Amino acid sequence: MIRGAIFDMDGTLVDNSAVHVRAFEIFCERYGVHDWQEKLAQAFGMGNDDIMRRIMPEEIIRQKGLAALADEKEAIYREIYAPTIRPVEGLADLLGRLRAAGVRLAVGSSGCRTNIDFVLEKCGIEGCFDVIVSGDRVAHCKPDPEIYLTAAAELGLNPAECVVFEDAKAGIESARRAGAGRIVALTTTLPREVLAAETAADMIVNNFAEVADLGAILQ
């Protein structure tokens, strides 16, 4: 029986992958980094420290520090996304139906807490979640299971009692390794055929409006 629902943020609460890519483009241009795109594509869902280690030269990391680089990139992201941000279709309705069914809700994201607060506030859903676990609260980000294990524990539930909503391979692997009872994947970042062939998702939807039957998730 599913008693908790844990939502990833990037690509799940909001369809923002293209905005993050644009923010990285602006960020990398500042530092003269040109070979970042393929490296970033392989790192979606991971924490900023891991992403920065993949795309930024070691010399720049030594000079600036991982935290400062991440803060700079995320400030760019929030500035360019603020005018157009909106939740994935059907999200508010699904959150309301889950809460009405007595399901406890959490955010479990590799993103920083500042970005999570930004998304929740701009989308008008900041009061919907019982627990928030951000990447800066854990020692290991996705695909490590720590974020989802922590979120389930803080909901007072076993991971097997939780459904996880995700979009990225790293996040789906994290949920699987945590022992999530059910994993629902969104096609915001990866095509349906890739999610079906290369992940452990139990259900694949284009958006939350397609989650018409809560029983299919909560049973």
- Burial grade of 162 (CB within 10 A; 0-12, 13-18, 19 or more): buried
What is the C-alpha to C-alpha distance for residues 153 and 155, in angstroms, rounded to an integer? Answer: 5
Predicted TM-score of the model (pTM)? 0.91
Q: Which two tokens stand for residue 3?
A: 């008693």
Q: Where are the domains of the chain?
A: 4-16+86-218, 17-81
pLDDT of residue 44: 80
> What CATH architecture applies to the domain 4-16+86-218?
3-Layer(aba) Sandwich (3.40)
User: What are the pLDDT digits (tens) for 46-72?
Assistant: 888 999 999 999 999 999 999 999 999
User: What are the pLDDT digits (tens) for 73-108?
Assistant: 999 999 999 999 999 999 999 999 999 999 999 999
